[in-house]
Structure 1
């Protein structure tokens, strides 16, 4: 499998169980998300643009075009996450998680105009807190695979997190800690809402929507 957008490992240190939860119950939502979204994840990992990104021959024009595609997707999706107010109850500072600012910063560093970059279609599958959490799983899981992309692009194009690689480097050395925060939030929400099926369906649709968006010229 290609190490592209999402390499979300749910097998590490698991979230703390809640008062009515058990270790097995906590593990279930993480396992289900990972297992049931696998075909959608693999389609994205093997998308031609992502394969080219990880090629030894990756070029700066290709990299810039991929950043523009991600900006179009994130600037469409992230406002829909911000429309829900349950994040603080899950100990998530959503403003710190948003990636649109990093993408804009990268494009500015590379002297690429971002003003007229088109957005992907509105994410009509994000319609409640549970579907927002499924999307959040995919968006935050991407920070893990992003570390692999960062090392590759840095070595090939001589960029850095301060110069064109802010999006893919995301949290840098803190990515593991931030991913544990996301796992904790997913587990807690699933335990409280019993909306696992909605979360998983939203995660699948997020993968599908991003792959479809990358297909467009």
Structure 2
């Protein structure tokens, strides 16, 4: 890492989170994706996204109100679409509301912390389109894949986050690396936490 901002942020994040990212990939077998797996995945994603989007939204509101340049957090929200997908699979509104939510590290208070979390959020959104294709190919209804389907806006969000990460100061980048690493660890633990039916990962 250099003493000036510029060009190294995204690589620092990738290096710091590579091992956890690989373990997460190993928890998801797209070849065996079916409707039960899809329901499990959406429940896990809602439990993670809802508190994560809430925390990032609070950070964004504070920075936008102060006139500071902040990434477009509202456009990245997917929790509502995930809830809709679950309802398409037969869950009631009450069942969706009662699904467990994941614990998270303390809410971000700095630009570096927020961008570290956005790195994880944006990467998850891009990977969703791959899952959606396999899900539909294996009989999952299109209406239950809206939160994962390809969206050109997600590519724009990723590019925005990448550019912002590459322009962080060394101190801010250190915060981003720590925030992303912590969130990936939470993500991994959340996928391994049993659901109400005793399921963990892609059993």
Q: Which interval holds the TM-score relative to the shorter structure? A: 0.7 to 0.9
For structure 1, the residue ranges without an aligned partner over 5 or more in a row are 1-20
**Inter-CA distance 158–61: structure 2 relative to 1 (3 Å threshold):** closer
CA RMSD across the alignment:
2.1
1:101 matched residue in structure 2:
80
What SS does the corresponding residue of 1:166 show, helix, strand or coil? coil
Provide TM-score, normalisation by structure 2. 0.81
Q: Please list the CA deviations of residues 173-192 of structure 1 after superposition, one character each: whole Å capped at 9, or x if unmatched.
A: 4432332122123234x14x
Count of aligned residue pairs for this structure pair: 184
**Inter-CA distance 35–183: structure 2 relative to 1 (3 Å threshold):** same
For structure 2, the residue ranges without an aligned partner over 5 or more in a row are 195-203
1:12 matched residue in structure 2:
none
Q: Please list the CA deviations of residues 31-83 of structure 1 after superposition, one character each: whole Å capped at 9, or x if unmatched.
A: 11111210111111112xx22xx02x322122111101111111122211112
1:28 matched residue in structure 2:
8
User: How many Å apart are 1:130 and its aligned residue?
Assistant: 1.9
**Inter-CA distance 108–37: structure 2 relative to 1 (3 Å threshold):** same
User: How many Å apart are 1:205 and its aligned residue?
Assistant: 0.8
What SS does the corresponding residue of 2:122 show, helix, strand or coil? helix
1:156 matched residue in structure 2:
138
2:177 matched residue in structure 1:
200
1:128 matched residue in structure 2:
110
Provide TM-score, normalisation by structure 1. 0.76
1:115 matched residue in structure 2:
97
Greater mean alpha carbon deviation, residues 193-202 or residues 84-93 = 84-93
